[in-house]
Amino acid sequence: MEIIAWAVLRLAFAWMFLYPIKDLLADWGSTKKVVGLLTPVFPGLCAVIMLLVMLGGSLSILLGYYAQIGGLVLCLYSIFGVKVHYKLSQQAKAGHLSSQASDCDREVLAEAQALAVVGHITSAEKNVVLAAVGFMFTLLGSGAFSLTDNIF
C-alpha cells in the first residue's frame, strides 16, 4: 500500500505543475505579466525559467530522478506562488468604475472582485500545501521505483 501511496502522490504533485504549462505558453503575454509581479526585471526570461522549473521539477518527482532537488525547487517555486496570488488578490480589490457607472455595474464589479479575491486567496493556500509536499519530497525523496537514490 505504501508503494501505491507514493506513486499517487508523485503523480498528483507532478500533474499540478505539468498541467498548466500548455495554457501558460498559449497566453504568453499574461504569463509574463504574472511573472512581472515578482520580478519586474526581465519578466520574459524569468517566465522561461519558471516554465523550466515547473517541467524539470515535476519530471524529477514523477520519475524519481534526484527528486530531493526537484522537491526543493518546487517548494521554493510554490512559496513564490503564494506571494503572487496574494498580490493578485490585492489587485482584484483595487479595481473601480467611473462615477458614471450604474448601480448594477457596481454590484457586478463587487461580486467579481469578491470572487477574484477568494479565488486568489485559496490558490495561495493551495500553494502553501504544495510547498509542504515539495519540502516532504526534499526530506524523504520520492519513494519506491525511483530512478536515483536519495542524496541524503
pLDDT in tens, 118-136: 999 999 999 999 999 999 9
Mean of the per-residue pLDDT values of the chain: 96
What pLDDT score does 95 carry? 85
Alpha-carbon span 10 to 57, nearest angstrom: 11
The pLDDT tens digits of the residues spanning 70-87 come to 999 999 999 999 999 999
Distance of CA 45 to the CA centre of its chain: 18
Give the alpha-carbon dihedral of 145, 146, 148, 152, to 10 degrees.
-110
Mean pLDDT to the nearest integer, 46-54: 97
Distance CA 42, CA 25 (A): 17
Which tens digits make up the pLDDT trace of 135-150?
A: 999 999 999 999 999 9
State the DSSP code for 95.
Answer: -
Query: H helices within the chain, ranges in order?
Result: 2-18, 21-26, 28-36, 43-63, 67-94, 103-140
**Measured distance CA(73)–CA(66) in Å, rounded:** 11
Phi-psi region of 18 (alpha: psi -120 to 50; beta: other; left: phi over 0): alpha
Q: How confident is the model at residue 97 (pLDDT cuts 50, 70, 90)?
A: confident
How large is the average pLDDT for residues 22-27? Answer: 98
